[in-house]
Structures are given as C-alpha cells and as structure tokens.
C-alpha cells in the first residue's frame, strides 16, 4: 500500500467523510471501487477507505450487497482477516466502508518478483489462511475468490508475512461486471463468478457451492508458490475452466525441476485439488493439519483416508495385487490331466513319445483332456477402440444430443465414449440457445461448444391500404369490342 498517489485531481482527496475521516490520497483501484488512505481525525489513526464506483452506487441491489459484505468481514473478527469498522456514503452519493490500514504487499506481488516461494514460507502463509477461513466458515461465510491478490502480507510485532485476507466475500457479487487492474488476473462475472485460475470444478460448472471451494483455491496457491505458475492456463476464460473440470494438474517437479517439495506435501496438494469436493479436505482445519504433518514428514489421517486422484508420489510401495482364487474344478481338471499324462508316459515305457502301436485309448485319453503341445496365438480384438470425449459448453448445463436426436448426456460438463477415428456430430441445447460441433476423436480430448441465441426473425411490413392496386391483365382487343368513351375511363 506504499504506492504513489493516483490521480491527485480526485474530488474526494482532501474531503472529510462522516465528519471524521479525512481522505488523504488514492492508493489503489479495482473493477468495483477505489481505495484511499485516510485518517480518523479525532484519534489520529490511519485507515483505509474503499469507495464503490459511482455507476455501481446507483444500483440499490449492489449497494445492499456491498454493505452486507462489510458486515460479514466485520462479524468474523479474526486477526488474519482485514477488520472493517464503518460504513457510509460520500457527499457524491457513493457508498464506502472503512477498514484497517495495511502496510505491506500482497502475495501476487511477491510471486511477480520472486516467481516461486520456498516450501516453509509457503506453508506458513497458507496455514494462516486456513485459520482465517476456518473462522469465516464457522460463521457460514465463504470467500469464493481466494487468490494471491487477496492474501496481503504485513509485518506485525516483529513477525514477517503476517497474513491479512482482504476483499472478503466480494466474489459473491455475481451480477457485477468487473475488470481488474492491468496485469492482474481478471475477475469475470455472470452465471460463473470468480477468478478462473483459482476456480474449483463445481464453481466452473455453475453448481451449488460451499466452503470447499476455498480449500481448492488454497491448493492452487500452494501449487503456484512451489511450481512458479498455476496448474491450468489458457487463452480464454472457458479454456481455463474446462481444464479445471477435466484435466489433472501437471507434476510440480515437471513445472519446476528445482522445486524442493516432499512427497508428503505433494500428496496434500493433490488431495486439495481433487475434482470431487467429497474427495478433498472437508474443511480448512483438515488442510492445516495435513500441511503441518507434511512439514514433519508425516501423512495426516485425512490425507491417508481418501487416496487423491491424478498424479502423485506414493509415500510407500503399494501392496501386491492378491492372486485370484481359482475354482475347485480347475484344480480337479488339472489333477486329472496330470494323472492321465503320467499313465500314458508309463505305458510307453517311460519314453518321451508314444509308439504308433500304442493302444488307441491312451491317445484318445490325451486328446480328451485337451493337452495341446502347440499354443495357438490369442485371437486379435478387431473391435474399434473407444476414447473418452469430455464435453463442455459455454454456458454450462446444456443437453447434448447426437445427430439422430438421441441424448448423449443430460447436462454439461459430461464425458462420452466415442469411437476412435469415427466422425461425430454433437448438438447442444440450453433453453433457446443452441450449438453444434463436428469432431473426429483420435484420443482422449476435450471439446467446447459455444451456445448462441437464435436470431430474431425480421417481419416484413404489411402493405398499406393505399398501396398500388394490382394491375389487371390486359386482353387483346378485337374489332368487335366496343370502345370505352373518354368520359368513362
């Protein structure tokens, strides 16, 4: 927050809010509002003032939710969450709230400067986030937009990297269009709201959310601090969301060969990033315990109970696969074959092969029990191979149909089995929006279908009553026809 003053011509600078908050300078801005450094004039205490933008302050629903978010952050009352102390309106009618003034930098600035963060420091930061979010979740408040930009680091009582989570709960405002600062990851809005790089699969699919979306976001932060980048990147918003839905994160060592990460900590990250919320840590307290155990070279009970999916480094060798028990008749048949073969071998005088004059019964016995001396090659499977085809739509929740009209899946995102090398036409339908794609899958892949609304039909204007009358068909005149007088024409 030690930035240079922004726009000194700002009309708020130098004014007094509520008769006690002096606005000194603007120190930051985002899509929703502007942040100012201020001072409580009566007690000479520095404060930060966040002012909602003018265009949003004219929307009563946004103002009500902005006020509710200020109440939520204030109600949690945790040392690792920024404290909100007051709320009001400027003389220009813009809503604002007052919070504690923070001197330091956010985790995004640290990553931008240092690229990676060592495991010990990363874990200390995330453990504080876990404790803060646990307090919020206990009050039924979910942040839903945890990212490095919202993890602010200050120095307090000689302790560096003291965490303050800011912009708490702002991501709940799903009907506000926002664009972040230049160079920062943009916060998109609409049916799906949040920052795509840190968005959980259920958040990407527009499903009902709970506090486990914050667990997933903390897993992304752990990954980014150690790997030097987020696990999923893309050129488009939906491209990143599709990877969260279907792709497994690359190994951290693959992204950063110099990463000093233990197998225990990589298991923690893998479980925190599970696609299924039920397979993640069920709260941030479990995640915090798992991180502390990993720092000690141990695996927590929660980590061991649910095997994480995706790439991981096993802590111990897997148990050998138990042999499949054979039915008793197999052993009986094998014993019969052995006895018959031994009897024939004795009857032939102990020679490797039987003579031509041997009794036919002995040869028949060997053929009957099926003791071939030459193994035939196993039959080849000429059936076409099947591949998984992951289907996503923008927006999500569409019904997928095959070309013949039969249903492929009821709601996207979904996974279909397709024949490798065979062209496939898929149609998507969501309300009046439709989309279509043609693909020839050769291996497992993901397809995104964009849905478009139907074009409005243009109606031709009706002809007025004074329109030019239709010209009658002229008939050829004949000599016998009477001529029409001039006055009657």
Alpha helices in 278-436 (DSSP H): 284-295, 301-305, 328-347, 360-368
Q: Please work out, in degrees rounded to the nearest 5, the angle formed at the alpha carbon of residue 413 by the alpha carbons of 412 and 416.
A: 95
Tokens of 65: 């939710």
With contact defined as beta carbons under 8 Å apart, do 392 and 245 qualify? yes
Cα-based distances in Å from 81 to 78, 162, 416? 5, 11, 44
Cα-based distances in Å from 317 to 99, 254, 321? 52, 22, 12
With contact defined as beta carbons under 8 Å apart, do 436 and 427 qualify? yes
Q: How far apart are CA 52 and CA 186, in angstroms?
A: 18
Q: How far apart are CA 174 and CA 193, in angstroms?
A: 6
Q: For residue 61, give the nearest of 175, 218, 151, 167 by alpha carbon.
A: 175
Q: How far apart are CA 49 and CA 86, in angstroms?
A: 9
Alpha helices in 60-187 (DSSP H): 60-76, 107-114, 119-138
CB neighbour class for 466 (10 Å; exposed up to 12, middle 13-18, buried from 19): exposed
What are residue 434's DSSP bridge partners?
429, 452
Give the position of tokens 């109606």. 459
Phi, psi (deg, nearest 5) at residue 98: -105, 135
Give the position of tokens 């054979």. 326
**Contacts of residue 53, Cβ cutoff 8 Å, sequence gap at least 6:** 32, 33, 34, 94
Give 302's Cβ-side CA count (13 Å radius).
22
Is 145 catalytic? The answer is yes
Coil, strand or helix at 270 = helix
Q: How far apart are CA 229 and CA 317, in angstroms?
A: 30
Q: Considering the candidates 145, 167, 214, 283, report the single residue annotated as catalytic.
A: 145
Beta strands in 123-195 (DSSP E): 151-156, 159-165
Q: How far apart are CA 489 and CA 476, in angstroms?
A: 18
Residues with catalytic annotation? 145
């Amino acid at each position: 927050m030690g930035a240079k003053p922004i726009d000194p011509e700002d009309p708020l600078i130098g004014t007094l809010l509520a008769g006690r908050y002096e606005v000194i300078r603007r120190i930051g801005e985002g899509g929703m509002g502007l942040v100012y450094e201020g001072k409580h004039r009566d007690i000479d205490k520095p404060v930060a003032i966040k002012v909602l933008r003018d265009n949003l302050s004219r929307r009563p629903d946004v103002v009500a939710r902005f006020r509710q978010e200020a109440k939520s952050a204030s109600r949690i009352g945790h040392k690792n969450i920024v404290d909100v102390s007051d709320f009001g309106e400027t003389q220009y009618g813009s809503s604002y709230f007052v919070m504690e003034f923070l001197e330091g930098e956010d985790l995004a600035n640290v990553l931008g400067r240092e690229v990676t963060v060592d495991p010990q420091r990363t874990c200390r930061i995330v453990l504080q986030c876990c404790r803060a979010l646990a307090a919020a979740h206990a009050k039924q408040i979910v942040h839903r937009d945890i990212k490095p930009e919202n993890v602010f680091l200050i120095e307090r009582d000689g302790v560096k990297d003291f965490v303050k989570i800011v912009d708490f709960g702002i991501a709940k405002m799903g009907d506000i269009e926002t664009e972040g600062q230049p160079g920062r990851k943009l916060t998109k809005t609409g049916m799906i709201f949040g920052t795509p790089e840190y968005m959980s699969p259920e958040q990407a699919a527009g499903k009902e959310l709970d506090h486990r979306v914050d667990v997933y976001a903390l897993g992304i932060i752990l990954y980014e601090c150690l790997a030097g980048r987020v696990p999923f990147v893309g050129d488009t918003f939906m491209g990143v969301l599709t990877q969260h839905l279907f792709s497994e994160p690359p190994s951290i060592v693959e992204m950063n060969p110099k990463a000093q990460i233990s197998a225990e900590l990589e298991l923690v990250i893998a479980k925190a990033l599970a696609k299924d919320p039920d397979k993640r840590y069920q709260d941030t307290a479990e995640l915090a315990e798992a991180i502390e155990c990993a720092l000690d070279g141990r695996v927590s009970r929660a980590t061991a109970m649910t095997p994480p999916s995706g790439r991981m480094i096993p802590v111990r060798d897997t148990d050998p696969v138990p042999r499949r028990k054979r039915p008793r008749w197999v052993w009986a048949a094998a014993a019969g074959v052995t006895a018959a073969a031994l009897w024939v071998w004795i009857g032939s005088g102990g020679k490797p092969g039987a003579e031509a004059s041997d009794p036919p019964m002995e040869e028949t016995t060997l053929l009957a029990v099926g003791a071939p001396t030459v193994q035939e090659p196993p039959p080849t499977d000429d059936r076409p191979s099947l591949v998984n085809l992951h289907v996503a739509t923008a927006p999500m929740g569409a019904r997928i149909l095959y070309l013949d009209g039969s249903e492929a899946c009821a709601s996207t995102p979904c996974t279909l089995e397709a024949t490798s090398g065979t062209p496939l036409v898929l149609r998507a339908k969501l309300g009046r929006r439709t989309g279509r794609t043609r693909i020839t899958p050769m291996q497992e892949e993901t397809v995104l279908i964009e849905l478009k609304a139907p074009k409005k039909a243009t109606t031709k204007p009706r002809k007025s009553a004074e329109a030019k009358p239709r010209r009658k068909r002229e008939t050829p005149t004949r000599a016998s026809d009477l001529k029409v007088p001039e006055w009657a024409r």
